[in-house]
Structure 1
Amino acid sequence: MAKRDVIGRYSGSVLGLAWSFFNPLLMLAVYTFVFSVVFKARWGEGVSDSRTQFAMLLFTGMIVHGLFAECLNRAPTLILSNANYVKKVIFPLEILPWISFGSALFHAAISLLVLLLVQLTINQQLPWTAVLFPLVLVPLMLATMGLSWFVASLGVYIRDVGQVTAVFTMILLFMSGIFYPISALPEAYQSWMRLNPLTYIIEEGRNTLLLGKVPDFQTLGLFTAVALLVAWIGFFSFQRSRKGFADVV
């Protein structure tokens, strides 16, 4: 079903799945031009001031945020857009967020491939820590699924949820350290910014994919435990509220 979701998104288009490759490149080019050319932003923190390096640091944040945002923005209409499955008692409705996540993960993997190819072309090598990047994504996956289950069930009864998630993910785009390092902020704000789980995932993603640094496994374990709790709460709320889906849709 996830495969069908990916293919169906580009059905009828001339380039087909090639759009999944060109879309992130286009957005990367636009954001890089605006922030590094127009605003002349520089990363600092001992990182090269080249526009290419800035683009790769920015792109890593976009990959993580895009994976989370796509799942959360689709969650409010997951049940409503699959109303025919609600009537079928044997269909496990709880897998619908997994289908959405699988589709988003495919597009994230394409973007990640682009990032690694660019880095390999420029630096002639990849840091070995890149193999640890999937571990960094584990708490993101768990938290995303928990929020998707909760929002999907809530969206059945409150149709305004979709508008809220769209605004929320847009705020996170600028409040997760995607376009700037957290160290560039005044110290009074840094601790608040680090309360955002996406900030940690994005920073550790850059460390493993670009900077060759091993993630902080103690903090990673703590985030994973919290994400497990979020996933359990989201799944529990979904299972409790699913009994009324058929009466609403």
Structure 2
Amino acid sequence: MINYFKNIIYYKDLLGNLTSNELKLKYKNSILGILWSYIYPLMMIVIYNFAFKIILRMTIDNFALFVFIGLIPWNFVQASISQSTSSIVNNQNLVKKIYFPRAIIPLSIINANFLTMIISHVILFGAMFFYNVEFTLSLIVLPILWIILYLVVAGISLILSSITVKYRDVSHIVDVIFMAWFYLTPVIYSLSMVPEPFNKIIQLNPITNLIELFRQVLLKGDFPDFSVLSTAFGYSLILFFVGLYVFHKREKNFGEEL
């Protein structure tokens, strides 16, 4: 496993090139190009502010910002896992031609979406300034939350992308799961609004506590409890290496299964 991880690092240039290609394909034949990474989240704030604050009259303070902070990590989760699940199957010609650690393919998709998520924070910071939300020292924790979220998504994606090579139905199942997963994640509502025993069930969702931590750092300006943060990091690291282990074990069968 350590050697496989080192091998991925050795092919970092290929990973960088594939990540760059993913970003280029995303905005191919687009007039505004990468500017959409800024325009899309800006439009989201306007739409959600109108829908929830004006029409539905939600009473949560800065509700558009509240939802937006939840949507940024959620969009990263959904886009990365959905796209990477079929990534090996979709790139089977590349897989059959040359040798390289196949994990680079789903990781390049995750990297491209990760960069888009980081760009979205530029709009988020602008929205925080507009809504007079105080910028506190708790923001130094934000990169740690990004890393934890990346490791969780990478671990899940590596497992699903390796299994999909043999069982193509997995990609369709993932699409169905995401429809339910969105509503089981506190993106457009607060975890405190969920009654027992459903509250505990929703907390089993690995993304739930992460979104709550994002809001705690960005919206409330509070430092997360160190034990909570360290536990989340530990679980995310374990999930990543479990995903890498499963992928590595499955990779030797890709040639005959594709």
Q: TM-score, normalised by structure 1?
A: 0.90
Provide the residue aligned with 1:215 in structure 2: 224
Shift of 1:28: 3.1
Q: Which residue of 2 aligns with 1:119?
A: 128
Per the alignment, in what secondary structure is the counterpart of residue 131 of structure 2? Answer: helix
Q: 1:124 to 1:23 in 2, by over 3 A?
A: closer
Q: Offset at 1:89?
A: 4.8
Q: Is the Cα–Cα contact under 8 Å of residues 185 and 207 in structure 2 kept in the other structure?
A: yes
Q: What is the match of residue 119 of structure 2?
A: 110
In structure 1, stretches of 5+ residues that fail to align are: none
Percent identity of equivalent pairs: 27
SS in structure 1 of the partner of residue 168 of structure 2: coil
| Structure 1 residue 77, shift from structure 2 partner | 1.3
**TM-superposed deviation, 1:151:** 0.5
* Secondary structure, counterpart of 1:79 in structure 2: helix
Conserved in 1, the CA contact under 8 Å of 2:85 and 2:164? Answer: yes
- Check if 1:64 corresponds to 2:64: no
Question: Shift of residue 15 of structure 1?
Answer: 1.2
What CA distance in whole angstroms lies between the structure 1 residues aligned with 2:229 and 2:179?
25
Q: Which runs of 4+ in 1 moved over 6 A?
A: none
Give the SS at the match of 1:157: coil
Gaps of 5+ in 2: 1-17
8 Å CA contact 1:137–1:201 kept in 2: the answer is: no
1:190 to 183, 199, 204: 199
How many residues are aligned here?
241
Partner of 2:178: 169
8 Å contact kept, 1:139–1:224:
yes
| Residues in 1 aligned to 2:86 and 2:103: alpha-carbon distance in whole angstroms | 14
Aligned-pair RMSD on alpha carbons? 1.7
Deviations 1:35-61 (A, max 9, x none): 223322222xxxx3xxxx111111010
Using structure 2 for the length normalisation, give the TM-score.
Answer: 0.87
Query: How far has the Cα of 1:97 moved from its partner?
Result: 2.1
Whether the aligned pair in 1 keeps the contact of 2:84 and 2:110 (CA below 8 Å) is no
Write out aligned runs for 1:80-119 (5 A).
80-119=89-128
C-alpha distance in structure 1 between counterparts of 2:179 and 2:149, whole Å: 17
